[in-house]
């Protein structure tokens, strides 16, 4: 992904298209009344999304912890304690959580301590705690907030393992190997969570829409150089091409949207309320403990009884450790009333619009000006309503009031 382009929650879907789209098979294009990929049955028409601003039930804002060098996963000796850092995953926290946790726990196990403290209860902290329990450790989580108050509970919840993860300059061969290992380990674990009660993980269809051919680049909007985003490393299409079905091109008669170009993709979606609750329940079932604690300085770690700690504080590590390599990337989502019969997502290239359908609602995401480096978590109602109105236009409604 190039700088200043809208990535949004379905950035992984855009990456999955690749620079060289797979040619459509005859079965994907030959049936005038059918749809791509279904030569033996015509799928039911898509249920329209009810895109109205009076259906906005929540506007969520979070700050993604971007590090140009990628996630920090390393151990440090602080007096009598070993602190393993596991933070800075950009927009890929949920997607890389299991693989990242495995690397962090491997470092923790070298201390031979049987008790582990995890600082933070977001996507990375909670998953690290579960991996540590599976490795036979007794784990206690220290955190100021629990789901759904943590930042990662405000994510779109799509499989996006390279979203705002690192810049191109730091994507060395060694980093790429480590990233691929984390991504594949996480992906494999998520396949074992399919079909569980509450559907914590699902595969869902989606549509990438465009006013211009997909082979042509989108014009980059003017933006002050001081707030310009970097060139993010393009990792997924190169290294994970075998982990998801390829997107397929659709002819105009094969989709209902008023745009000349469209592709259908398949992506993995995390229903975060159910998934977070699953992790919390399993953590407590296996003897985990949670202590509410707000750390203002790493010196406070010395007061803990555990000699091995995992620092999974995400963007909070910037203030806690003084780590100025962490850059906030503001993200805002408008959650609409759930539509259980809508089981597809949308990304509209060039229109700053991405929609993810989850069991707890339709998540409409739009990027604001100056999100990179912006740590404000104040909701922008006008931005949310504008995105919902753009979405309404895809379904033939000029007003979303």
The 3 state secondary structure assigned to 250-278 is ECHHHCCCCCCEEEEEEEEEECHHHHHHH
> Treating both helix axes as pointing N-terminal to C-terminal, what angle do 93-109 and 123-134 enclose, rounded to 10 degrees?
40
CA 238 to chain centre: 19
Other CB atoms within a 10 A radius of the CB of residue 93 amount to 27
Nearest by Cα to 339 from 310, 374, 307, 364: 364
Half-sphere exposure of 209 toward its Cβ, with a 13 Å CA cutoff? 22
Element (H, E) at 318: helix 317-321
Cα angle, residue 283 at apex, residues 277 and 286 outer, rounded to 5°: 135
Task: Return the DSSP state at 342.
Answer: -
pLDDT of residue 400: 56
- What distance in Å separates the CA atoms of residue 150 and residue 147, rounded to the nearest whole number? 5
Other CB atoms within a 10 A radius of the CB of residue 163 amount to 30
Phi, psi of 352 (to 5 degrees): 55, 55
Q: Which pair of tokens denotes residue 185?
A: 């380990």
- What distance in Å separates the CA atoms of residue 110 and residue 103, rounded to the nearest whole number? 11
- What distance in Å separates the CA atoms of residue 284 and residue 332, rounded to the nearest whole number? 31
CA 109 to chain centre: 28
Residues 6+ apart with CB under 8 A from 332: 59, 60, 61, 365, 366, 368, 379, 380, 383, 384
User: Residue 82 pairs with which residues in a beta bridge?
Assistant: 77, 308
Q: Which pair of tokens denotes residue 25?
A: 């098979």
| Ordered domains of the chain (ranges, CATH) | 11-66+204-267+327-393 (no CATH), 68-156+273-325 (3.40.50.720)
- What distance in Å separates the CA atoms of residue 167 and residue 68, rounded to the nearest whole number? 5
C-alpha distances in Å from residue 342, one per residue of 190, 191, 230, 338, 345: 22, 22, 35, 9, 8
SS3 assignment, position 145: coil
> What long-range pairs does 382-385 form, CB within 8 A, spacing at least 24?
383/332, 384/53, 384/56, 384/59, 384/332, 384/334, 385/53, 385/56, 385/334
pLDDT of residue 43: 66
pLDDT along the chain (401 residues), means of 10: 40 40 35 44 84 98 96 97 98 98 98 98 98 98 97 96 96 97 98 96 97 89 63 89 93 95 97 98 98 96 97 97 97 98 96 97 94 95 97 79 61
pLDDT of residue 166: 96
Residues 216-237: b if buried by 16+ CB within 10 A, e if exposed: eeeeeeeeeeeeebbebbbbbb
> Which pLDDT tens digit goes with each residue over 53-77?
999 999 999 999 999 999 999 999 9
pLDDT of residue 369: 85
pLDDT of residue 223: 54
């Amino acid at each position: 992904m190039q700088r200043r382009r809208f990535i949004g929650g379905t950035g992984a879907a855009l990456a999955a298209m690749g620079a060289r789209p797979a040619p459509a098979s005859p079965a994907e294009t030959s049936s005038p009344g059918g749809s791509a990929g279904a030569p033996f049955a015509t799928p039911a028409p898509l249920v329209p999304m009810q895109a109205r601003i009076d259906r906005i039930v929540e506007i969520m804002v979070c700050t993604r912890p971007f590090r140009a060098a990628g996630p920090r996963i390393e151990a440090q000796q602080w007096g009598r304690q070993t602190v393993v850092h596991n933070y800075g995953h950009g927009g890929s926290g949920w997607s890389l959580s299991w693989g990242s946790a495995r690397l962090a726990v491997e470092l923790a196990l070298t201390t031979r301590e049987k008790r582990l403290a995890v600082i933070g209860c977001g996507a990375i902290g909670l998953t690290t705690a579960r991996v540590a329990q599976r490795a036979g450790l007794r784990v206690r989580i220290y955190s100021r907030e629990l789901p759904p108050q943590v930042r990662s509970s405000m994510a779109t919840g799509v499989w996006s393992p390279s979203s705002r993860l690192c810049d191109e300059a730091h994507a060395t061969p060694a980093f790429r190997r480590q990233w691929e290992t984390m991504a594949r380990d996480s992906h494999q674990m998520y396949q074992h969570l399919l079909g569980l009660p509450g559907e914590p993980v699902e595969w869902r269809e989606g549509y990438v829409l465009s006013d211009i051919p997909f082979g042509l680049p989108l014009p980059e909007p003017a933006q002050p150089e001081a707030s310009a985003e970097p060139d993010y490393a393009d990792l997924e299409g190169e290294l994970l091409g075998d982990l998801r079905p390829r997107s397929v091109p659709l002819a105009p008669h094969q989709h209902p949207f008023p745009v000349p170009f469209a592709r259908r993709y398949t992506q993995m979606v995390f229903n975060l309320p159910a998934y977070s609750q699953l992790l919390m329940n399993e953590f407590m079932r296996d003897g985990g403990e949670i202590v509410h604690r707000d750390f203002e300085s790493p010196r406070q770690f010395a007061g803990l009884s555990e000699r091995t700690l995992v620092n999974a504080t995400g963007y909070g590590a910037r203030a806690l450790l003084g780590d100025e390599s962490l850059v906030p990337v503001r993200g805002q989502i408008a959650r609409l009333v759930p539509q259980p019969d809508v089981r597809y997502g949308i990304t509209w290239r060039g229109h700053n619009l991405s929609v993810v359908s989850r069991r707890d609602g339709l998540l409409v995401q739009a990027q604001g000006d100056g999100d990179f480096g912006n740590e404000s978590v104040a909701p922008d109602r006008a931005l949310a309503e504008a995105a919902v109105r753009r979405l309404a236009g895809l379904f033939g409604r000029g007003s979303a009031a």
